[in-house]
Each structure stands twice: as C-alpha cells, then as structure tokens.
Structure 1
Amino acid sequence: MTDQFLKNTSPIEYQIDIRNAPKGKLKNVFLILFLCMVTFGFAMGVAFPPIVKVYFSDPRAVSISFTLMCITAGITVGVANYMLFSLVVSKQLRFLVEGMNQVNKQIRSAMFSRKHSQTSYEIEVKSNDMIGQVTQAFNTMSSTVEQRLNHEASFRGIVATLSANIDLDTTSDIILRYFIETTCITSGVLYGKIEDEMILLASHDVDTDDKLPRKLEPWQGTISDTIESGTIHTIDTEANNFNWITISTPLGTFKPKFIRIIPLIADKSTVGLLIAACGDSKVSESIQKEMLETYASYMAPYLQNALLHNKIQEMASYDSLTHILNRRFGLVRLEEEFSTALRHRSDLSAIMIDIDKFKKVNDTFGHEAGDMILKNVASALALNLRNEEVICRYGGEEFLIILPMANLHKAGLVAERLRLVVERQGYYHKDKLILVTISLGVSSLSSLVTQNKNDLINTADTALYHAKHMGRNRVAIFRNNESVLLPTKV
C-alpha cells in the first residue's frame, strides 16, 4: 500500500522522462523523504519511553506495550507528515512539471517549424519559496531559449533571402537590417572592401549630409587595428571623428558617446566593417560582443560573395582598355533608358562618336599610341558627362553616349561641347604630340517616326557618317528624316 501511495503521489517519477538524464545514480526524493520521516517517527517512538521513565520515575513507561504504542504513534506521525507534505508540495511540483512539459512541447514544435511563434514560454510563479525560485529560474532559461529560437528563425529567413540574391546593394541592406533587428545595434553604416578600400555600401539612421564618408581613410588608428586584429573595437566618437553616427529614439535623435567597429571576416580576411551605435540593452557587455562576433561570422561569407559578384560584373561590363562600359552592357543600359523614356513619355537622345583618322594614328605612331589615344579620349568624354549619362565603347574607335531626358537641341549642345574638349587636348607619346579630333552624330527619340531603340542608334550613326563625309571634326544631327550639320565653335 505504501509503495502504491508513493507511486501515485510522486510527480517526478511519472511525469519526467529520465531516459535522457545525465548518467549517474538516480534518487527518488519522495521515497527518501518518506523513509526519513518514518525513521524519525520510529526513533522518537523508541526514545520517548526512556525519557518518560526518567522524567516521571514511572517503570511502566518502558513496558513493551507502551513502547510499541509510542513507536506506532511515531511512525503514524511520520506517515501523516509525509502525506501532508505530499498533499501541499506535490500539487505545486505537479503544476511546475506540467508547465515544464508544456513549454518543452512548445519549444520542440518551434525548433522544427519555419514559422515564427509568438507563444510565451513561461510558467506562472505561484509562490515566493524555493519552488517559486525554481519556476523563475526555468522561466529565465526558457526566455533565453525563446530568444535563441527567434534569432534562428530570423536567421533562416535572412539566409533564404541572401541565398536567392547576390546583388551587392541588396545584400548590404539585408545584412545591416539583420544586425539591427537581432542585436543591440540601432544605427550604423556598412562598408565593404573594394579594390583595397573600404567603400560605403549601406546605412541606417545616420546623418545624410557631407559628414558621411563614402570611403574610410586614412588606414590607421582604430580602423587599421580592427582590420588587423579581426576583433571588435569600442571607440570614442568625438576623439575619432565618427560623430556622424546617430541613435533614433521616440524623443528624437542623439549622438552616442561610444560606437563599435565590427569586422566581417571571411577566409581569414576582413571583407567589411560595420560601424554602429548600440541602444540600451539588458544583455551584458560581454554577451553583446559575443553575439555581434557570431552574427558577423554568419554574414561575412554572404558579403564576400556579393563583393565578388560585383567585381565579376564590373569586369564583364567594362572595357578593359578604356575602363568604360563595353558594347554589350552599353546596349543593356540603352534598353533600360529606352523603356524608362517610353514609360514616362520623356525624351532620350543618343550620340555616336568616331575618332577621326584613327587608322592613320596607328600606322604613324604604332598601336601602343593608338591605345593611349583611345584611353585618353574615353576618359575626356566620360569626365565631361553627368552621372546619369552613359558612355560605352561601341566599336574599335567608336563610342556611344546615351542622354536620358535630353531632347535633340540639348543633345546637340552636349555633342559640340565634347567635340571641343577633344579638339583642344593634345596627347603625347614618346615626346611626340598627337592631335586628334572626333566626329559626332546625334539623334533623339522625339525626332523619330517610329520609336525604336535600333532606329535611335541607326539614325545617330547616319548623322555621324554625314559629319565625317562633310569634313570630320563636326557634329551632325538627325532631324526631319535627314542629317544636318551643326555650326561649329572655335
């Protein structure tokens, strides 16, 4: 009967799966408690008769019948105490264990689910004694597990997005957003290593004026220390001229006194730097640093892949000699601008350019001089265009310029300005001055009968042929279905 009672009142034995418990000698606490109480009652029953005899000087106190009665009473009190304890404590323990089992099921479900769970993994604290302390400790542990699961769920989503996109701008924004959503970081900027320089890739909640550096320099001090050591550095913003970092709060924005510089390391090389400010956090400084280091190691390979992809894209899209877009990607940009012009019903112009008598330059001064002329003419043209205007190497000594939002008149003015720039420059090769000129043909979308990008190129090429035929070093425009020379400036 006692064994059956112990089995029914012990919440530990029938609710907790001990198969995965750490190896060692397992103890039934309730059985030990029962034996202790019964033993204590038995000892009191044995000790009570001699005490009565000494105190009352009554020899009947040590009789067998009285002794057995005392022992029985002691054991009965021990069993009663145990039953009373079990009635009060086991109910609380049963509630605690059931809560733990429920939380365990929720955590297991969340571990194998891709959906973010909003369930709170906590048990109600019903007492301020040791059981209440155990409950609170369990809630703290489950809260830590919940945070970890939430971070893992967020990380899975970020990884899925990063795996599907290796565009540098998109990847940079995702990485910075991930840090802000999962760590103490509230604002910052992300730099990536491009051609041995740390170039600005993305920013969040920072000043947008001229204080925000597009390139980190000089390579010294804390920046250099962070790159060389590969560890997080905390620095004073005023002393190190990082006062363009801000923190946004419901009361406005303010500049933090300290910021962190976090290296993103892949293949033992620093591929990026995150310069960030952290808001208030209940997490200790050491844990914050550990989290930032861990997440930086997660994100670094994706940034490295995006940087590599960006480099390959640039190598594939730029002409190796002139360092401007090649014909293939120039036509891609033309397609994009053409679609934009049609969508917004805006104008679009094209300028075809050819270096005059380029074959004679090659024959007279050699191909090395010819390459030098191509590079310098391309550079002169590119430097005299706006950021939104596109130039590409269209052929051997031919260039194509795309002018968004420009009508025929404006494009003609741009062409004449470019003609003068090249005409007024001289190029030296082995101490010999080489003078070159260019001929230009201009066409615009509004001057075409059929709005077709191929017609835009063909009519600009027709105007170019007319400029060369009429003496070279000229600008011709295609207007009213014919090519017309523009007056030249001296």
Structure 2
Amino acid sequence: MSFYRSKHVFRALAWGMVSLGVLTGAIFPLVAVELGVSAELALSPTFVGTTLAAGLIVGGLNFALASRIVRPRLRRLTGKMRQVRSAMDQATYTGDWSECDPAVCQLKEQAEDELGDVADSYNALLQALHAAHRVEERIQNFNNTLSSQLDLHDLSEQALSLLIEHSEADGGAIILEKQGEWTIPASTGLIEPEAILKSPALQAAHEQAEVRRFDLPEEVRVDAVLSHFTPSDVLLLPIKHHGLLLGWVVLAAASPFSDKTTRLLPLMIQGLGLALNNALLHDDLQRVAALDPLTGLYNRRFGMKRLEEELARIQRNQTPLSLIIVDLDHFKRLNDTYGHLAGDKVLVRAASVIRDMLRKGDVVMRYGGEEFIAILPGSDIEDGADIAERIRFALAQSRVEVAGHTLSVTASIGIACTADDRLSSAEPLMKLADSRLYAAKSGGRDRVIAEGAGEALAS
C-alpha cells in the first residue's frame, strides 16, 4: 500500500517514519564496518538489535514531534470549519448570520509555510462566503423593499435612491417606456435629465439591451453637494422582465465605478424589472378603471376622488378652486332622432372640445349621461367663467357628421367657486354649480351662469 495514497495521513506518516527508522537501524551496522568497526562487533546480534531499536525509537519520536506540532493546528482549523458549518445551518433557518462573521470565525495562524497557506485560504473562503451572503442580503432587501410598492412614481423614486446608495453614485435617473413613449419617472442629482432621452448613446442602446458605459449629453451635469461637474463614469443598465425591455437605469459618478459595483447592479436590477412590471400593470389597471370607456375622460368615481384631493390641496395652499358643470342641451331629442351611435359620437366630440379648452392641471370627468364636470384648481370665479364661456362657444361651433347629417349641440353651464361662495367641501360646491346649471337651462340654454340664481354671463 502506498503511503502517498493513504486516506489516513497521520497513520501513513507514523508507518513511514518508523519504517525509515528501522531501515536506518538495519543499515547502520554495515556503515559501521565501513567506518572501521570490527565486523564481529558490528554484526553481532546485540549491536544489530540495538541499532534497530534505536531506529524504531527515533522514528517514533519524529512522528510524535510532527504530530504534536501539526495536529493541534489542523484540529483548530477543522474546529473552525465545523463552527462555520453549524452556524450556516442554523442561520439558514433563523436568518441570524452573526455567528458566521469573519471577525468571529477567522483563523489566526502565524505559520509561513503550507499550514499558513491553508489558514489564509480558509480565511479567504470565509470572507468570500460572507461577501456572497452580504450581496444576497442586499439583493433580497432591495427586492423586499420594492415588492411592497405598486405606485409607479414612488417605486421609481425608492429604487433609484437605493441604487444610488449601493453604487455610491452622485446622480441618476430611471427611464421607462409608457404607452410607446420614453419618460423619466425619477431622477436625482441630474441637471436637465430629459436631455438623456435625446442622447445618441441611449438611442443606440435600444437596439442592444445590455449594460454599457457612455458620455452624458453636454447639457446634463451632476448636481453634487458643493458643485456641478461632468461625471467621469456613467452606467446605462437595462431593466428587463422576461426578456422584454422596460426601461433603463442611468447612474453617474465623479469617480469610476468599482468592479464589485458593476457586478452587483445587474443582479439588483433583475428584481427591479419584476417590481416595475407589476407597477406598470397596476398603473394601467388604475388608468383603465379611472376612465370612462366612451370618452376617455375620468369616470364619475375617480373624478369625484380627484375633486376631494384638489379641495384638500387648495385648503392647504389657501388658493381658490372653480367647478364647472356642463350639460348638453336637448341631448335626449338628438338620441331619439338620430340614434345612440350618433349620440355617442356627439359625446366623444364634446369631451374632446372640453378637454382642449382646459389648462394643464385642470381635471375633467364625465359625470353621467351628457353631463361633464371640470375642476379648475387655482381659478377664481372670473377665470372659471372665462373658461366656461370658451367651452360653450367651442361646443356651439363644433360639428359631427353622422350618416349624411351634420349635427351640432349647445350646452348649459353652471359654475361655483370656493373663494366667492365660501365653500370648502365637494357636496355644497356641486350643489351650487348644479343650481346655476339649471338656471342656465331655464333661462334659455346655451349660456353660462356663474353667480346668483339666474344672471347670464353670456348668451
């Protein structure tokens, strides 16, 4: 049996050392003869027996000494390994990885030979396991944080903040495709982030969705704590879900990103792809649930929710809000004469006209049937009356072609304002605007009523 292939190293070492000692004892009498000792003495049984015994003893002592030096260190190493294995088994189920910390389980070995190399390799392995767990923990915490968010804006803001924190970037943005257009739902530290959408590097990246580094457009700068500067390193990372490109993460830094960062970020963004896909689906469902299927305006339920939100906001900001109720005149007669298809076309046209007459930030809903409501935050009664008159005039001028017939429709409009009428909640505001709407109808239709109970501002 070869000593080199033995599965019991110390047993093989013992046999080897004892055998070497015995062999040395057996050869020594012959060497003694060569050195001048008489053959009678050197080859006598007593002398030979003595040298064999001495060789056996020296071999045994050598093994004992080697065992005494090496064995404790190996036992200490295996003990540490068992400790780490036990801690890892426990941490897998408890989540407490403190017992696996290198500061606790590190092996201190002063040897500068192979034993020192073994100890160094063990410590390096421990550090690698700890680093791997830290990466896994970061990714898991990142995914757990994002999985609780369904609001697209909040999710994007939170994800970008975490990515900047983990990458030590100085600024960044998230770019998403929504309804065929690229938008930036979140950006931090970038001046003119919209310019990124026109970057040739981003345009080229759409063709091959892979991690790359690129130069920001000249108009884009990073807003650091003390100064604005052009970043020295910019990462462009694709956000995918099941192979479908959802968008990009752009991260900019004053100093180059580390290799560890460039390896970690794609792993984190895998979870971001799932979270953003869920948020986009939720956003689409919310949008569909909020819209009237015929006109594309907010429906009554969602529109009233927006009214409550806007009323709460104007109370905090101490600004006025005007509410306009638009009712199409003689719509039932039009429906009965030309049919519901013609009526639907008139409603769609009216919704488009009203939407076009409003300002950015105004809200419009289909309240029911042929009735529409426009919410004008920041508008006093004069502003509201002016917009209402433009709506009335535009509706009267619009035409709808149906089966060879040219149809037109007028509207009666009532207005109420929180400032002039000292109203702060939805119900009395709606009630006042509605009473002025009926005053407009009883006064001859195709008119706007913004005060009192029947005075026309336009005829």
2:195 alignment partner, SS class: coil
The amino acid of 2:353's aligned partner reads A
8 Å contact kept, 2:192–2:219: no
> How far did residue 39 of structure 1 move?
2.1
Aligned positions of 1:65-76 closer than 5 A: 65-76=46-57
Match of 2:29 in 1: 49
Of 54, 64, 67 in structure 1, the residue corresponding to residue 45 of structure 2 is 64
Q: 2:34, 2:272 → 1: CA distance?
A: 82
Match of 1:8 in 2: none
1:280 aligns with 2:280: no
Q: 1:115, 1:441 → 2: CA distance?
A: 66
Q: How many residues align?
A: 449
1:39 aligns with 2:43: no
CA 219–188 in structure 1, closer or farther in 2 if over 3 Å, else same: closer
Of 104, 113, 128 in structure 2, the residue corresponding to residue 144 of structure 1 is 128
1:386 alignment partner, SS class: coil
Aligned positions of 1:327-338 closer than 5 A: 327-338=300-311
CA 478–260 in structure 1, closer or farther in 2 if over 3 Å, else same: same
The amino acid of 1:486's aligned partner reads L
1:439 alignment partner, SS class: strand
8 Å contact kept, 1:427–1:435: yes
1:407 aligns with 2:387: no
The amino acid of 1:368's aligned partner reads L
TM-score, reference length from structure 2 = 0.82
8 Å contact kept, 2:234–2:251: no
Higher helix share: 2
The amino acid of 1:67's aligned partner reads V
TM-score, reference length from structure 1 = 0.78
1:85 alignment partner, SS class: helix
8 Å contact kept, 1:248–1:254: no
Q: Which moved more, 1:407-416 or 1:347-356?
A: 407-416
Of 235, 244, 249 in structure 2, the residue corresponding to residue 269 of structure 1 is 244
Runs (4+) of structure 1 exceeding 6 A deviation are 183-186, 215-220, 247-252
Match of 1:126 in 2: 109
> How far did residue 257 of structure 1 move?
5.4
8 Å contact kept, 1:463–1:478: yes
Segments of structure 2 that go 5 or more residues without pairing to the other structure are: none
Residue-by-residue CA offset, 1:20-75 (whole Å, 9 max, x unaligned):
xxxxx982322222222222222222222212222335312233322232233223
> How far did residue 248 of structure 1 move?
6.7
8 Å contact kept, 1:114–1:153: no
Q: Which moved more, 1:343-352 or 1:273-282?
A: 273-282
Match of 2:359 in 1: 386
Segments of structure 1 that go 5 or more residues without pairing to the other structure are: 1-24, 227-231
8 Å contact kept, 2:192–2:221: no
Match of 1:438 in 2: 411
Of 284, 296, 306 in structure 2, the residue corresponding to residue 311 of structure 1 is 284
CA 456–90 in structure 1, closer or farther in 2 if over 3 Å, else same: same
Q: Which moved more, 1:351-360 or 1:447-456?
A: 447-456
8 Å contact kept, 1:352–1:398: yes
Q: 2:338, 2:249 → 1: CA distance?
A: 51
Match of 2:208 in 1: 225
Of 437, 440, 443 in structure 2, the residue corresponding to residue 470 of structure 1 is 443
1:170 aligns with 2:170: no
The amino acid of 1:281's aligned partner reads S
Residue-by-residue CA offset, 1:411-431 (whole Å, 9 max, x unaligned):
233323433444454455567
Match of 1:7 in 2: none
1:340 aligns with 2:313: yes
> How far did residue 440 of structure 1 move?
1.7
Match of 1:486 in 2: 457
2:208 alignment partner, SS class: helix
8 Å contact kept, 1:111–1:149: no
1:56 alignment partner, SS class: coil
Q: 1:203, 1:113 → 2: CA distance?
A: 38
Q: 1:249, 1:46 → 2: CA distance?
A: 84
The amino acid of 1:222's aligned partner reads A
RMSD, matched Cα: 3.7
The amino acid of 2:102's aligned partner reads Y
Residue-by-residue CA offset, 1:344-395 (whole Å, 9 max, x unaligned):
5543321111223334544555543433332233223223333332111111
Residue-by-residue CA offset, 1:91-142 (whole Å, 9 max, x unaligned):
4334433433444444444433346759732515433332232222222222
Residue-by-residue CA offset, 1:309-332 (whole Å, 9 max, x unaligned):
211111111011211101110011
Q: Which moved more, 1:151-160 or 1:438-447?
A: 151-160
Q: 2:200, 2:401 → 1: CA distance?
A: 34
Of 275, 283, 301 in structure 2, the residue corresponding to residue 302 of structure 1 is 275
8 Å contact kept, 1:199–1:216: no
8 Å contact kept, 2:143–2:268: no
